[in-house]
C-alpha cells in the first residue's frame, strides 16, 4: 500500500526521513495492544504508542465520547468562556494528584505544558515582588519537550545542539552512573547527586532561581528511575531555598509507574506537575499543568481588579471540548478497570524478563520501573545511535514495535500486557540484539 502513497510532502518529526522514506513503516489500524501495518501484519505495541495508549487502542467508550462531543459541541472559545467538561476533567484530574495540587491549566501537548509551568514559575515570583527569581534548573538527560523553554532545561544534547541561544538554565547531573547499571527498579546509590543543586544555588544565589524541573523518572533518555531518596533530597533543598519544584510527569502520570503519578510512586510532592499523553489515552492532543493552592492563590490575590487577567497565557485549544470528553472517558477506564493495579501486578514479571537480557552482546545497562524499560547498547565505531535503531527495525520485522532513542532501546508496555506477551517481546529484542554486529 505504501508504494502508492507520495512520501515527499510529509516531513516526519524526530525521524530519519531519508531512511524512513527508503523503507517506510506504515501503520494503518490498531486494536487493543496491537498495530496493523500496511502488509496486514499484527504488530505488538511495545511503547503504547508514544507512552500514550496504556489502556490499549480502540477503547469504545473513548471513541463514543469523542463522537458524541463532536456532535454536541465541537469547539468552544477558551478565553473568557468555557464549557462544563473542562471543569469536570480538571476536577477529575485533581483526584489523581497528590494532596494540595488542585488547579489544572490546560494546553495541548507535553511541550506546551512544560513551557506553561516554567512561565507560571517565573510569573509567580514576580507576583510576589521577587522579579529576580528567573533562572530555571533542569537535568542532564532530561526531556521536557521541544519548545524553547523545554529544550533549555532539557538535557539531551541532540535536541539542543542545532537551535542556538535558549533561555537561562542550569543542569543537575543525571543519575545514570556506572554503579547504578543493571539496577532493578530504583537504584540504591546516587542519592547525593541531588546535592549538586546546592552548588548551583551557591553559584547563582537562590534569589535568582525560579524553579527546578525534573522528570521523576526520566523517560525519553532511556528510562532512568530516581535513586532512592534522590527526589526527597531535591524537595528538601527546594523548600529550604524557596525554589519551586516542578515534576514533568508527561510520561509518568496516570499509571505508567504503577501509581497515579510519579510523585505518588516515589513519595514526593512537587509544587507543579505537568501531564499529557495518557490523560486521553493518546486519542486527543491534550496536556497541562497542575499547580498547588499556594501558586494558584498567589495569582488570584495579586492581579489587581477582578476583571484583570491573572495569567496572560493560554492556547486556542486549551481545554478543547473533544479532548476533555476523551480525557473523562480515559480516566474512567483507568479507574474502573483497575488499570494501575494491573501495572503493579505486571511490573515484577516484566522486570524479571527484561533483566534476563543482561549478558547479551553490547548491552551495557538495563533499567526498569513500573511498565517502562530502558536498555543501553554500546556504540559502534563512534555511532551511538545505530545499534538501537537496528534493533527497532529488526523488531518491527519480527512483529514488535519498540522505540530507539539515542543509545537506548525503550519500552512502555500496555497496562494490560500478558506474561506471554512480555516473553515474546523480550525474546524478540534479545534475538535482534544477537543479530547485531
Binding site for ligand PLP (CB under 6 A): 109-111, 114, 143-145, 215, 219-220, 248, 250-251, 276, 287
Q: Which three cell numbers stand for residue 45?
A: 505495541
Q: Which three cell numbers stand for residue 324?
A: 476533555
32 three-class SS: strand
Q: How far is the CB of 162 from ligand PLP (least distance, A)?
A: 18
Q: How far is the CB of 294 from ligand PLP (least distance, A)?
A: 23
Which is nearer to ligand PLP, 110 or 155 (by Cβ)?
A: 110
Q: Are strands 272-275 and 101-107 parallel, antiparallel or unpaired?
A: unpaired
Q: How far is the CB of 140 from ligand PLP (least distance, A)?
A: 14
- Contact assessment for residue 360 and residue 376, using Cβ atoms and an 8 Å cutoff: no
Number of helices (H) and strands (E) in the chain: give both, helices first: 14, 15
Which is nearer to ligand PLP, 287 or 370 (by Cβ)?
A: 287
The four Cα atoms 392, 395, 397, 399 give a dihedral, to 10 degrees, of -130
Which is nearer to ligand PLP, 153 or 346 (by Cβ)?
A: 153
Reference 313, options 330, 344, 291; nearest CA is 291
Q: How far is the CB of 356 from ligand PLP (least distance, A)?
A: 26
The four Cα atoms 100, 102, 105, 110 give a dihedral, to 10 degrees, of 60
Q: How far is the CB of 14 from ligand PLP (least distance, A)?
A: 9
Q: Which three cell numbers stand for residue 133?
A: 527569581
Other C-beta atoms lying within 10 Å of the C-beta of residue 14:
10
Which is nearer to ligand PLP, 136 or 250 (by Cβ)?
A: 250
**Quick one: DSSP state of residue 380?**
B
Q: How far is the CB of 38 from ligand PLP (least distance, A)?
A: 25
Reference 30, options 42, 21, 20, 19; nearest CA is 42
Burial track 75-94 (b if 16+ CB lie within 10 A, e otherwise): eeebeeeebebbeebbebbb
Closest-CB residue for ligand PLP?
A: 110
Which is nearer to ligand PLP, 56 or 287 (by Cβ)?
A: 287
**CA–CA gap between residue 186 and residue 182 (Å, rounded):** 10
**CA–CA gap between residue 118 and residue 101 (Å, rounded):** 16
Phi first, then psi, for residue 172 (nearest 5°) are: -70, 160
Q: How far is the CB of 287 from ligand PLP (least distance, A)?
A: 6
Q: How far is the CB of 282 from ligand PLP (least distance, A)?
A: 10
Which is nearer to ligand PLP, 186 or 278 (by Cβ)?
A: 278
Amino acid at each position: 500500500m505504501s508504494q502508492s502513497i507520495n512520501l515527499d510532502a510529509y516531513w516526519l518529526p524526530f525521524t530519519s526521513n531519508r531512511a524512513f522514506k527508503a523503507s517506510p513503516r506504515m501503520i494503518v489500524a490498531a486494536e487493543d495492544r496491537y498495530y496493523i501495518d500496511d502488509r496486514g501484519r499484527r504488530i505488538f505495541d511495545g511503547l503504547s504508542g508514544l507512552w500514550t495508549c496504556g489502556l490499549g487502542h480502540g477503547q469504545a467508550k473513548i471513541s463514543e465520547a469523542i463522537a458524541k462531543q463532536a456532535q454536541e459541541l465541537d469547539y468552544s472559545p477558551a478565553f473568557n468562556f468555557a464549557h462544563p467538561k473542562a471543569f469536570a476533567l480538571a476536577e477529575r484530574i485533581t483526584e489523581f494528584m497528590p494532596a494540595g495540587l488542585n488547579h489544572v491549566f490546560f494546553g495541548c501537548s507535553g511541550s506546551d505544558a512544560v513551557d506553561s509551568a516554567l512561565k507560571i514559575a517565573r510569573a509567580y515570583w514576580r507576583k510576589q515582588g521577587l522579579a529576580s527569581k528567573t533562572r530555571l534548573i533542569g537535568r542532564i538527560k532530561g526531556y521536557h519537550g521541544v519548545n524553547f523553554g523545554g529544550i533549555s532545561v532539557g538535557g539531551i544534547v541532540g535536541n539542543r545542539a542545532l537551535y542556538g541561544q535558549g533561555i537561562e538554565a542550569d543542569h543537575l547531573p543525571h543519575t545514570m552512573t556506572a554503579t547504578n547499571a543493571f539496577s532493578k527498579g530504583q537504584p540504591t546509590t546516587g542519592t547525593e547527586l541531588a546535592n549538586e543543586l546546592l552548588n548551583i544555588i551557591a553559584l547563582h544565589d537562590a534569589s535568582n532561581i525560579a524553579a527546578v524541573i525534573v522528570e521523576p523518572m526520566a523517560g525519553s533518555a532511556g528510562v532512568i528511575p530516581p535513586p532512592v531518596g534522590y527526589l526527597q533530597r531535591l524537595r528538601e533543598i527546594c523548600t529550604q531555598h524557596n525554589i519551586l519544584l516542578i515534576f514533568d510527569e508527561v510520561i509518568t502520570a496516570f499509571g505508567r509507574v504503577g501509581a497515579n503519578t510519579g510523585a505518588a510512586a516515589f513519595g514526593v510532592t512537587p509544587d507543579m506537575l505537568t501531564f499529557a499523553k495518557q490523560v486521553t489515552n493518546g486519542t486527543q492532543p491534550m496536556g497541562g499543568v497542575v499547580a498547588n493552592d499556594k501558586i494558584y492563590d498567589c495569582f488570584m490575590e495579586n492581579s489587581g481588579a477582578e476583571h484583570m487577567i491573572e495569567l496572560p497565557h493560554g492556547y486556542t485549544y486549551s481545554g478543547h471540548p473533544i479532548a476533555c470528553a476523551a480525557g473523562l472517558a480515559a480516566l474512567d477506564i483507568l479507574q474502573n478497570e483497575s488499570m494501575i493495579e494491573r501495572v503493579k501486578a505486571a511490573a515484577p514479571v516484566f522486570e524479571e524478563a527484561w533483566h534476563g537480557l543482561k549478558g547479551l552482546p553490547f548491552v551495557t545497562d538495563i533499567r526498569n520501573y513500573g511498565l517502562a524499560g530502558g536498555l543501553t547498547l554500546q556504540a559502534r565505531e563512534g555511532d551511538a545511535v545505530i545499534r538501537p535503531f537496528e534493533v527497532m527495525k529488526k523488531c518491527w520485522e519480527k512483529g514488535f514495535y519498540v522505540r530507539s532513542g539515542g543509545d537506548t532501546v525503550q519500552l512502555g508496555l500496555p497496562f494490560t500486557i500478558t506474561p506471554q506477551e512480555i516473553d515474546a517481546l523480550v525474546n524478540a529484542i534479545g534475538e535482534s540484539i544477537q543479530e547485531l554486529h
